[in-house]
A and B are shown apart, each in its own frame.
Chain A
Amino acid sequence: MDHRPQWLVPGRVISRRQLILGGTSAAAMAAFLAACGSDDGGAGSGTTAGGADTTAGGGATTAAGGADTTAAAAGSPQSGGTLRVGVVGSTNDIVDGQFIVAKADQARLIAGWEPLVSYDADFNVVYENALAEEIETTAADLYVIRLKEGIVFHNGKPVTADDVIYSFQRRLDPDLGLAPALIPLLDASGLTKVDDRTVQVQLKQPAVTFINGLAEYIATVVPVGYTREDPVQIGTGPFQLESFTAGAESVHKKNPNYWDTGKPYLDEVQIIDFADPASLVNALSSGDVDAIVDVPFAQASTISADSNLVLLESEAGSWLPITMAVDQAPFTDPKVRQAMRLIVDREQMVERVLSGHGRVANDMYGVFDACYPDDFPQRTQDIEQAKQLLADAGQEGLEIDLFAPDDTAGLPELAAAFADQAKEAGVTVNVKVLDGGTYWGDEYTKRTFATSFWGTRPYLNQVGAGSLKESTYPETHWPPEGSNFEALYFEALAETDDAARCEIIRQMQQQEYDEGGNIIAVFNSLLDAHKAEVQGLVAEPNVLNLDHFGRGFKNIWLQT
């Protein structure tokens, strides 16, 4: 039984809406990176990865800060207490067991609801911290899900196959728009109740990546009849929502019926909204909150300078591309695209944009994927060759507009840094920063030269989400005319043998590496911070911030 195939997650579940509406959270770049990445998480198989140039492997993490806070050193967990968590949020925040519109919503969702499977630190799909006992895969389009025994909702009602089926149906509801990209794969007729704890899922087409979709933090189980408007919000998570005021705070009470014995430790969790990251950091420094989500990279040093605070850095596969539309001049000529990739000083990008809290990337995504091509030569800045390529393409002295949104901190900086580096090659880049609503609006995927962000996900999932003509967000308009890229993609989707699939994927990666439209200079880390007395958080590779929010805060305890 193999639960670790390279499952596809159909597109990104979280729409760009979070960008349009989640304006204020903007300030934290990582917020969005994680928000969008987390919807489907990392690659299937356990893998060590990382740019070929970096020493950091997939499992490497760093914890910084003035205090030693490993759980072992701190003794055994103590029960009780209230944890105050600061997030960047706004009046646009929502609570929904299966959806978020902004980063602040993530923490609230994780506290109250749980998916069927999850990822561990090596990005294996596992049953820990999740509701399924086993998922049998007999074919690439047939899955049998069996629930763990004894799991009950907040109100004491046992979780059954009916709830699982309802949870799928709710996500498939086109009117709710929770997971539009799941719709081509599955419809209600494919969901069959086998017994009280077992559901069979028949997909409309083979998709070896379906299990990754189930490991999304957002693919949770809600009770039959659940809606966002329910006055009492019911889930299975370690904490139940008690009150919520958008743009202000939410209060979550300990779930006395929680299935994971002994947990949670805390009595109460308060998630408090802050308008901007600077006041978030101030609030932690002055002790107004116990933990904060998304420390702005450039401010990490203010946290490490304070001995009462701990910086929590987790490696992630999030990436920040500069996107070139391969079917629009001047990028129709592959030489121009190659030149642009040679202009970038990647080490400088890591230092300048991420303050060192990330890794150099190699124009290739899916870094935690088992098929990640570590052996592709690391691209480095080569101004001379870039100039030569531009000359060959007849584009010396190129002048071009590069667009960035104002609501995703990091992207204007990325664009500005690129513009600086391009000067050396005689290329004039005019950075145009637009407000988020306009940026992610009608023109979003039509621009010639722009910036974007993506989260951690396996290679095929990412292709489905952004590298096909019919992707939800075809930013680079890849693949070019006459390419067999798409055919390879469908071939890979139906291939159940890991090694054979990696072979196919490698051909696709080679095409993108040689002539693709993404300039991927960096992978960024997730960066959070907490008081020294907050225990139970581990710095390890993760999809979500704050050690996956302590898996719904159940792992966190306070040292008195």
Chain B
Amino acid sequence: MGLLKFVLWRVAFGILTLFVVSVVVFALTQALPSDPARAILGRDATPASLAAKRVELGFDKPAVEQYTDWLGGLLTGDPGRSFVNGEPIMDFLGDRIKNSLFLMVVAAVVSIPLSIVVGSYAALRRDKTFDSSTSVVTLVLASMPDFVIGALLIVLFATNVAHVVPATVRIRPGSAPWSDLKGIILPVAVLTLAVVPYVARVMRASMIEVLESDYVEMARLKGVPERTVLWRHAMPNAIGPTLQVIALNVAYLAGGVIVVESLFNYTGIGLALRDAVREVNLPVVQFLAMFIAAIYVVTNLLADVGTILVTPRLRTRLT
């Protein structure tokens, strides 16, 4: 199986995945107990106005037709309008998507190199002080729910012990996501502390395995300098499996922003999703579910391809 064929296969499968996800998301949101028409019109709605609203929202059509309309809209870049204020979803969520992606990217840029360095170094210093202490620290951090870490950081650095950073983020409408860099310190810290322990531990395990492998042994026996062994032989093979975990963690970031955004009042998709679920704002819930699933599919695809590209033995197996 050639690399191209593999990639094509993965893309096809990714599309299939998103299709199935779309069906399930649609079915699930249809099952929400509240009536969106009533939610929009309020307590004083009359039966006539409710019926009219249902027609306007397309609820009078058969479910299959509603689904195909929605899917068609998604594919043509028109995911519909928010039930709550009638705004097109892309207008409504555009800034929020940018903000959330920015938060995710910053968190990833900070946490991934950090965890690779920590993990590799722990592997090199296996069972020494650095390894044991990071092992305990990462375990403890991985064990603390992110909202506990977040709440503690707020008390320590924003509201009570010290007042060095803001407790909430304020990205003003129309401003760039990086307009409140001071504000995103704590959210990024929370996400980093959630991701690093996990990725670092995998990196360590993976690195240890590679360091003990025959080819590294071989390279050392051949007298290749240790630095070259590490950078040319060990690193690439160790990063391969780690990429998968990184992908999982990026997907976590996409979902984890719900908690972090509500903790820091960050105007992103997480808060929008929470509001939308409460307000029975179906188009927004559906769109965001698809969006988060798409991030998952894409990162996994990239991780799979990346793994093959960086891992010499897999590269040869495919060609």
- Is the beta-carbon distance between A282 and B262 smaller than 8 angstroms? no
Query: Inside 8 A of B263's CB, which chain A residues have their CB?
Result: 279
- Is the beta-carbon distance between A286 and B274 smaller than 8 angstroms? no
Say yes or no: is A169 at the interface (Cβ < 8 Å to chain B).
Answer: no
- Is the beta-carbon distance between B168 and A283 smaller than 8 angstroms? yes
- Is the beta-carbon distance between B42 and A21 smaller than 8 angstroms? yes
Contact for B167 among A286, A435, A442, CB less than 8 A: A286
Query: Inside 8 A of B271's CB, which chain A residues have their CB?
Result: 247, 275
- Is the beta-carbon distance between A24 and B275 smaller than 8 angstroms? yes
**How many pairs, one residue from A and one from B, have CB atoms within 8 Å of each other in the complex?**
129
In Å, the complex CA distance between A19 and B34 comes to 13
Query: Inside 8 A of A286's CB, which chain B residues have their CB?
Result: 154, 158-159, 163, 165-168
- Is the beta-carbon distance between B168 and A435 smaller than 8 angstroms? no
Other than A20-B39, A276-B262, give 14 A-B pairs with Cβ distance below 8 A.
Answer: A23-B278, A24-B275, A90-B279, A91-B85, A91-B281, A92-B275, A180-B44, A246-B85, A248-B173, A249-B172, A283-B167, A286-B167, A437-B34, A444-B43
- Is the beta-carbon distance between B170 and A272 smaller than 8 angstroms? yes
Say yes or no: is B33 at the interface (Cβ < 8 Å to chain A).
Answer: yes
What are 17 contact pairs spanning A and B, CB under 8 A? A15-B44, A16-B43, A21-B42, A23-B279, A91-B276, A91-B279, A180-B44, A247-B267, A249-B173, A272-B170, A275-B262, A283-B167, A285-B160, A435-B34, A437-B33, A437-B280, A441-B35
Q: A167-203: contact bitstring with B at CB < 8 Å (1 yes, 0 no)?
A: 0000000000100100000000000000000000000
Q: How far does the Cβ of B177 sit from chain A's closest Cβ, in whole Å?
A: 13
Say yes or no: is A205 at the interface (Cβ < 8 Å to chain B).
Answer: no
- Is the beta-carbon distance between A275 and B160 smaller than 8 angstroms? no
Say yes or no: is B234 at the interface (Cβ < 8 Å to chain A).
Answer: no
Say yes or no: is B41 at the interface (Cβ < 8 Å to chain A).
Answer: yes
Specify which of B160, B261, B271 lies most central, judged by the most chain A CB atoms within 10 Å of its CB.
B271
Q: How far does the Cβ of B81 sit from chain A's closest Cβ, in whole Å?
A: 13
Contact for B272 among A15, A91, A94, A280, CB less than 8 A: A91
Q: Binding site of B, secondary structure by majority: helix, strand, loop or mixed?
A: loop
Q: How far does the Cβ of A285 sit from chain B's closest Cβ, in whole Å?
A: 4
Residue of A nearest to B276 (CB): A91
Q: How far does the Cβ of B262 sit from chain A's closest Cβ, in whole Å?
A: 5
In Å, the complex CA distance between A204 and B36 comes to 36
Contact for B159 among A15, A94, A274, A285, CB less than 8 A: A285
Residue of B nearest to A283 (CB): B168
Say yes or no: is B38 at the interface (Cβ < 8 Å to chain A).
Answer: yes
In Å, the complex CA distance between A436 and B165 comes to 35
Say yes or no: is B265 at the interface (Cβ < 8 Å to chain A).
Answer: yes
Known pairs A90-B279, A283-B265, A285-B167; A275 contacts B274 (CB<8 A): yes
Known pairs A248-B173, A286-B167, A438-B34; A177 contacts B42 (CB<8 A): yes
- Is the beta-carbon distance between A274 and B92 smaller than 8 angstroms? no
- Is the beta-carbon distance between A440 and B92 smaller than 8 angstroms? no
- Is the beta-carbon distance between A94 and B85 smaller than 8 angstroms? yes
Query: Inside 8 A of A249's CB, which chain B residues have their CB?
Result: 170, 172-173
In Å, the complex CA distance between A18 and B272 comes to 18
* CB-contacts of A419-474 with B (<8 A): 435-438, 440-442, 444, 472-473
In Å, the complex CA distance between A473 and B279 comes to 22
- Is the beta-carbon distance between A101 and B34 smaller than 8 angstroms? no
Bin the interface of chain B by size. Answer: 35 or more
Known pairs A23-B275, A24-B278, A437-B33; A279 contacts B44 (CB<8 A): no
Say yes or no: is A105 at the interface (Cβ < 8 Å to chain B).
Answer: no
- Is the beta-carbon distance between A17 and B167 smaller than 8 angstroms? no
* CB-contacts of B69-112 with A (<8 A): 82, 84-85, 92
In Å, the complex CA distance between A94 and B84 comes to 10
The 5 closest A-B pairs by CB, nearest first: A17-B42, A23-B278, A437-B34, A16-B43, A285-B159
Contact for B38 among A20, A23, A473, CB less than 8 A: A20
Q: How far does the Cβ of B131 sit from chain A's closest Cβ, in whole Å?
A: 37
Query: Inside 8 A of A136's CB, which chain B residues have their CB?
Result: none
Query: Inside 8 A of B280's CB, which chain A residues have their CB?
Result: 437
* CB-contacts of B298-318 with A (<8 A): none
Say yes or no: is A407 at the interface (Cβ < 8 Å to chain B).
Answer: yes
- Is the beta-carbon distance between B173 and A243 smaller than 8 angstroms? yes
Query: Inside 8 A of B172's CB, which chain A residues have their CB?
Result: 248-249
Contact for B278 among A243, A245, A407, CB less than 8 A: A407
Known pairs A279-B264, A286-B167; A92 contacts B158 (CB<8 A): no
Contact for A288 among B42, B85, B168, B173, CB less than 8 A: B168
In Å, the complex CA distance between A20 and B267 comes to 22
- Is the beta-carbon distance between A282 and B167 smaller than 8 angstroms? yes
- Is the beta-carbon distance between B39 and A437 smaller than 8 angstroms? yes
Residue of A nearest to B93 (CB): A91
In Å, the complex CA distance between A436 and B38 comes to 12
Residue of B nearest to A308 (CB): B163
Query: Inside 8 A of B173's CB, which chain A residues have their CB?
Result: 243, 245, 248-249
- Is the beta-carbon distance between B42 and A15 smaller than 8 angstroms? yes
Query: Inside 8 A of A246's CB, which chain B residues have their CB?
Result: 84-85
Say yes or no: is A287 at the interface (Cβ < 8 Å to chain B).
Answer: yes
Residue of A nearest to B168 (CB): A283
Residue of B nearest to A281 (CB): B159
Specify which of B262, B267, B279 lies most central, judged by the most chain A CB atoms within 10 Å of its CB.
B279
Q: How far does the Cβ of A470 sit from chain B's closest Cβ, in whole Å?
A: 14
Residue of B nearest to A439 (CB): B34
Query: Inside 8 A of B165's CB, which chain A residues have their CB?
Result: 286
* CB-contacts of B32-59 with A (<8 A): 33-35, 38-44
Query: Inside 8 A of A24's CB, which chain B residues have their CB?
Result: 274-275, 278
- Is the beta-carbon distance between B267 and A90 smaller than 8 angstroms? no
Query: Inside 8 A of A245's CB, which chain B residues have their CB?
Result: 173
* CB-contacts of A137-185 with B (<8 A): 177, 180
